[in-house]
Amino acid sequence: MENSIALFGTSADPPTIGHKKILEELSKIYPFTVSYVSNNPNKNHKEDISIRSHLLKTLIEDLDNPKILFNQSISSQWAVESIKKCKRIYEFNNLDFVIGSDLIKDILHWKNFDKIIKEVSFFIILRDGYPVESDTLKMFENYNLKFKISTIKVPNISSSKLRSNFNYSNLPTSLISIVKKNNLYESTKLVE
């Protein structure tokens, strides 16, 4: 992995302590991690991409780690476009595209999937309730998909879980005041 950089796109609606943990752990594995916020064409986003990107940028700035880069200009709703932009900007051909195990079945239906699998390896982060099963591994083999399964332990929280059962303790500390001040995610209706 010393010869690869991690590309971590996320809808981050909002960024959680899980996103923070992933970024911290990726920085221990890769020489650089590039992160950005995108609109997932399969999701309805609660907040606008400009708000979500501001939150992720704030989180990354708070981490204060030179190995973690925020670059919103890479963002596209299509992974293949983000990958091309990243390679062009950073002039780095070896990319590990970071995804949660909850997205494994979706990637087969991504735009230009056949091109994506030629451009990147996948770095799969296990999510509770979404194990990587033997039929999935067989599918990967059939497509000659390059991948690594992470040993990173991530808190069992997702943006959608956070939105449905809002608890400030699941937000990175650096984001709490922004969420409160701007009344994001209906925060004024919530109990701390």
pLDDT at 191: 43
The answer to whether position 184 is within a domain reads no
Bond preceding residue 172 cis, omega within 30 of 0: no
Q: Is residue 190 part of a domain?
A: no
Query: Domain for residue 26, yes or no?
Result: yes
> Is residue 38, in this structure, part of any structural domain at all?
yes
Q: What is the pLDDT of residue 164?
A: 85
pLDDT, position 188 = 44
Q: How many CA atoms lie within 13 A of 151 on its CB side?
A: 2
Residue numbers of the chain with a pLDDT score lower than 70: 1-2, 187-192
**pLDDT at residue 95, rounded to an integer:** 96
Contacts with 46 (C-beta within 8 Å, 6 or more apart), sequence order: 13, 163, 185
- Tally the domains of the chain: 1
Domain that holds residue 137: 5-156
What's the pLDDT at 120? 96
Position 183 scores a pLDDT of 87
Residue 165 placed within a domain: no
Dump pLDDT digits (tens) for 12-60.
Answer: 999 999 999 999 999 999 999 999 999 988 888 999 999 999 999 999 9
| pLDDT for res 112 | 94
Phi, psi of 153 (to 5 degrees): -95, 115
pLDDT at position 187 is 54
DSSP 146-164: -EEE------S--HHHHHH
What's 42's domain CATH number?
3.40.50.620
The reply to whether 111 falls in a domain is: yes
Is there a domain that residue 175 lies in? Answer: no
